[in-house]
Amino acid sequence: MAKNPNPKERLVRVFDAEQESEALVVRGLLESSGIESITQAVDLEQDLFPVGGVAILVREEQAEEAKELIKAYRQEKPAPEDEELSEEAAPE
């Protein structure tokens, strides 16, 4: 298992997710490709309700590779309406 990067190293934000579960999937994708990462909570100030999310950070020298992997992941990921259609079309 890859060791997390030291937070004192130069880290680059490569992914933002509204939900922690999506960030964990992307982090697993990066780890499986040998890219070490850390997650960081993101809280955005708003007038009524705080809005948060999760950011994934990687070492600067691995940022471009990480972005390419994430881009490929997003292109392969089916849209929610595609999943519903495939379930409806599945024979019973």
CATH number of the domain at 58, please.
3.30.70
**Residue 59 and residue 36 in contact, taking contact as beta carbons nearer than 8 Å:** yes
Would 24 be classed as within a structural domain? yes
Per-residue pLDDT of the chain (92 residues), as tens digits, is: 446 666 678 999 999 998 889 999 999 999 999 999 999 888 765 555 656 789 999 999 999 999 999 999 888 866 555 555 555 555 55
Q: In the chain, what is the straight-line distance between the N-terminal and C-terminal CA atoms, in Å? A: 41
Would 28 be classed as within a structural domain? yes
Q: What's the domain count of the chain?
A: 1
Domain that holds residue 54: 11-77
pLDDT value, residue 42? 82
The pTM of the full predicted model, rounded to 2 decimals, is 0.68
